[in-house]
Amino acid sequence: NNNFAIVDGIEADVGSKATIFVKTGNTATRVSTNVIGADGKRAVGTQVSDAVYEAVINKGQTYYGMADVVGKKMVVAYEPIRNSAGETIGILFVGVPEDSVYGPLKSEILGTTIGKNGYLYVMDSKGNLLIHPTLAGQNLANEDFIKQMIADKNAMTSTTKRITYIWDGKEAVAYYTYFAPLDWIVASRVDPSDFSGPIDDLRNAIVIILIISIGAGAFIALRFGNSIARRMGDLVELGRKVMVGDFKGAAQEIDKNAGLSGGGDEIGEVSESFKGVVTNIQAFSDEITSVSNAAVEGKLTSRGNAGRFKGGYAEMISGVNKTIDAVVGHLDAIPVPAFIIDKEFTVLYANKASASMAGTTPKDILGQKCYDHFRTGDCRTGKCASGQCMQAGRMASSETQATPKGKQYDISYSGIPILDANGKAIGAMEFFTDLTEIREAARQAQKKIENALDFINGEMGKIQNGAAEANANVEEVSAGAGQVAKNATAVSVNVEKSLEAIIQVQKAMEDLSRTIQDVATRAEGTAKIVHDTSDFSREGMELARRTESGMQGITKSSGEVNQIIGDIKGQMDKISEIVNLITDLANQTNLLALNAAIEAARAGDAGRGFAVVASEVKSLAVESRASAERIAEMIENLQNQTNHAVEAVASSNNGVREGSEALRETIETFTKIAASIEKISHNVSDVASASEEQAASVEEITASVNEVNGLIENTAKESTDAAAASEESSAAIEQISKVIGNVTVVVESVKTEINNFK
């Protein structure tokens, strides 16, 4: 649809209008045309006529004739368009304006005069005057003589009829025939007075002569009486025969009655004059009859011999000759080949167009057999339209090829029988219509259409193969997407396990925090006891000096214990921060796993999107591993600090033992101090126990962190698998892109071919 390259190419090549119709249901619709409608646009969307549809679509025949195309009269040809199965799927229309074909013929018809006032005219079967000197374009269907002509059209396709009618108050005579291919009724209108005038003058002259003769006879009869009565009676009878046109009878009468011309008197002279008149009129009649019969038989080269006569007789013979010359001149000017043959197919007349087609001159073709010059496929066969029309007595038409002088023409031709006075065919007149250019244009257009369809079918096969390959790649992408979805599910499970491990770490950290708080509380109790002990120590200040050295060691050890405990608290705070970081990482990992599952569900775009998600998961896994390593390092530091605390406590115990030796003498004074010191020792033991509990908690943390590390490694592995699947998906998508690129190249090739076809 809306592709006008083919029809425009036909117009550029052969100068004719063209249309492509496509069969749609029970009609054919114009989808491409260079025919312009009244609105100035291409007349697409209109339907073909029922008659054309029946002939071309239903019967598969080529339709030729006249047609009204968007309000314009055109000479047209409708050719069926068939698919590879031989089915008719459309129509190719080619047409040229009527004026370009029949314009010269119209000019010749309008320029033809018959007699003084006669002329030719053409009308269609609806009474519309197509060609007329004064009334062209008018409709005379209501006139009685026009109604008669229309009623007779089917009965006169091979004959000519005559009708007499009154027009503008005068009697007129029309000879008419019907030319079916163009739906033309061709008529000649003549004024009888144009042809009867000379005869009337002659008749009047004869009557005058007779009147004079009768008067003279009466005078002679009165003078000579009965002696001349008989001769005058014979003369009167001779005059009557001449008056009624019985020239042969008059001649016989003269030959029989020798007495009419004998005697040497006036009656003899009158008789001699009558004899000369009868002889001239008889010769004139014979000459006119000879020319008329030759013209009726189609021998348009025959002419009257005006040299045999004098005066008005010679002028009338010359007038008849000029009339025949005018008719022949008009026939020669017709651009359509036409010639006349007898029953033996001998050419009696050929116009210039037919002689030109035969590659010779009209003079050289006369007397020759028509089939020796035109060489059609129907010649000397039962298909010959001229032979058929002479046998059937009516017009016959046919289509064939002619090959005169080695040239080839596609022609449509018609034979019209020439009848004698008894209605018997004595010859035929044949008309040619050259369809070569129209047929060649149709063949070229058909060939171009077939080539374009073959190319398009081939390219469509390539497109189908490309589509199959694309389908296989899509299946591969789908499989990759399934693997991505599976890996994403595994990532989600591992992340959930990571969350459980993190929860265990949080619980261990909570236990560790409570232990540290208990250590702090006991340390505060120890400080209070030491304060109380300070009060007691004032009583035994002197003894305390002796144990000052030992107490300093104890104080130093206690300070180290406090510092170690503070360090442990700080390390535990950092562990709490790291645990929070791990929690955040786990949450983000869970979100990324969810995104990965969503990306996997989107099979079409999963490859590239999931690659990004997998990369992020891998980065988080690396960061989680680094955090786990930091936790392990901190726990190791915490263990070392705990060991130092144990050693410090041991050192403090040694100092206490050394102080015990010095304080034996002050047992009583420092009993309370000893009790306080014992409480301090007990509290320090509690601190050691708490440290051990802290170590156990740290071990739990280490185990949890190791488990987290393993899960993170699994997550990294699954992420790697997901990335590989994504890479496979990307490769498949690239392959699809290549296939699509190939399809694009094919489509461009189709477009290029169509542009070349345009």
For residue 709, what are its two tokens? Answer: 């590390």
Write out the residue limits of the CATH 3.30.450.20 domain(s) in the chain: 5-98, 111-190, 334-434
pLDDT of residue 239: 66
How far apart (Å, rounded) are the C-alpha atoms in residues 645 and 568? 10
- Mean pLDDT, residues 406-422 taken together: 89
User: Long-range contacts: 571-578, Cβ < 8 Å, 24+?
Assistant: 571/634, 571/637, 571/638, 571/641, 572/509, 572/512, 572/513, 572/516, 572/638, 574/634, 575/509, 575/512, 575/631, 575/634, 575/635, 575/701, 576/509, 576/513, 578/627, 578/630, 578/631, 578/634
What pTM was computed for the model? 0.33
For residue 47, which amino acid is it?
Q
Of 74-83, 163-172, 628-637, which range is least confident? 628-637
**Per-residue model confidence as pLDDT tens digits over 418-444:** 988 788 999 999 988 888 887 777 677
C-alpha dihedral (276, 280, 281, 282), degrees to nearest 10: 100
Homologous superfamily in CATH for domain 334-434 = PAS domain (3.30.450.20)
CA–CA gap between residue 706 and residue 508 (Å, rounded): 14
Hey, which of 229-238, 408-417, 454-463 has the most confident mean pLDDT? 408-417
d(CA 461, CA 288): 79
Report whether 79 contacts 95 (CB < 8 A): no
Fold of 111-190: Beta-Lactamase (3.30.450)
Give mean pLDDT, residues 653-670: 58
Q: pLDDT tens, 45-88? A: 888 888 899 999 999 998 887 777 777 778 888 999 999 999 99
CA distance 160 to 186: 10
- β-strands 113-114, 118-123 pairing: antiparallel
pLDDT per residue as tens digits for the range 298-312? 777 788 887 888 887
The mean pLDDT value of the chain amounts to 72
Q: What is the pLDDT of residues 438-453, one digit of tens each?
A: 777 767 766 776 675 5
Confidence of residue 649 (pLDDT cuts 50, 70, 90): very low
Query: What is the pLDDT, as a whole number, of residue 722?
Result: 55
Largest separation between any pair of C-alpha atoms in the chain: 232
- Does the 5-98 domain belong in CATH 3.30.450.20? yes
pLDDT for the residue numbered 308: 81
8 A C-beta contact, residue 526 and residue 684: yes
Four-CA torsion 466, 469, 473, 478, nearest 10 degrees: 100
- Predicted confidence (pLDDT) per residue in 243-293, tens digit: 666 767 777 766 666 555 555 566 666 666 666 777 777 777 788 788 777
Q: What is the pLDDT of residues 680-729, one digit of tens each?
A: 556 656 655 655 665 566 566 556 656 655 665 665 566 566 556 555 65
Q: What is the mean pLDDT of residues 117-127?
A: 88
Between the two ends of the chain, the Cα-to-Cα distance in Å is 14
d(CA 472, CA 480): 13
CB 410 within 8 A of CB 439: yes
The more confidently predicted of residues 642 and 504 is 504
